């Protein structure tokens, strides 16, 4: 399978716990994006990487959120001290070089905070 993969697919946690999600992009893609999608809404941009550099962060990304992409390969998104409002689908997408405009999405990680 050469598509974007995300793990875990589902995560249930208690409020106040930390969670970490992983995204593995398409192997030759150097750009990686994180989005959050709540029920019935379109995805909202959170952050993106070009190789290992984090180039932009949304104001939606509070200081409880941190994302990394060591060595420009897979990426992790960590949420500390989760709140019920963090419950959402977290989507990862990847894209090739700047002349390739299409983002390819993974299946997402559905987070439920109790």
Partner 1 sequence: AQTVTQSQPEMSVQEAETVTLSCTYDTSESDYYLFWYKQPPSRQMILVIRQEAYKQQNATENRFSVNFQKAAKSFSLKISDSQLGDAAMYFCAQGTSYDKVIFGPGTSLSVIP
**Closer of 95 and 113 to partner 1 (Cβ):** 95
CB of 105 to partner 1, least distance (A): 4
Strands 31-37 and 88-95: antiparallel
Chain CA centroid to CA 96, Å: 17
Q: Which is closer to partner 1, CB of 83 or CB of 97?
A: 97
Q: Which is nearer to partner 1, 74 or 105 (CB)?
A: 105
3-state SS class at 86: helix
How near is the Cβ of 101 to partner 1 at its closest, in Å? 5
Answer whether 35's CB lies under 8 Å from 18's CB.
Answer: no
């Amino acid at each position: 399978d050469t598509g974007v993969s995300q793990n875990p697919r589902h995560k249930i946690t208690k409020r106040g716990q930390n969670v970490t999600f992983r995204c593995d992009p398409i192997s030759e893609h150097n750009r990686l994006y994180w989005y959050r999608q709540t029920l019935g809404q379109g995805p909202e941009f959170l952050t993106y990487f070009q190789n290992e550099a984090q180039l932009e962060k949304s104001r939606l990304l509070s200081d409880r959120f941190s994302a990394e992409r060591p060595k420009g390969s897979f990426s992790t998104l960590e949420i500390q001290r989760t709140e019920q409002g963090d419950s959402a689908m977290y989507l990862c997408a990847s894209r090739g070089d700047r002349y390739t405009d299409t983002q390819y999405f993974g299946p997402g990680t559905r987070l439920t905070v109790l």
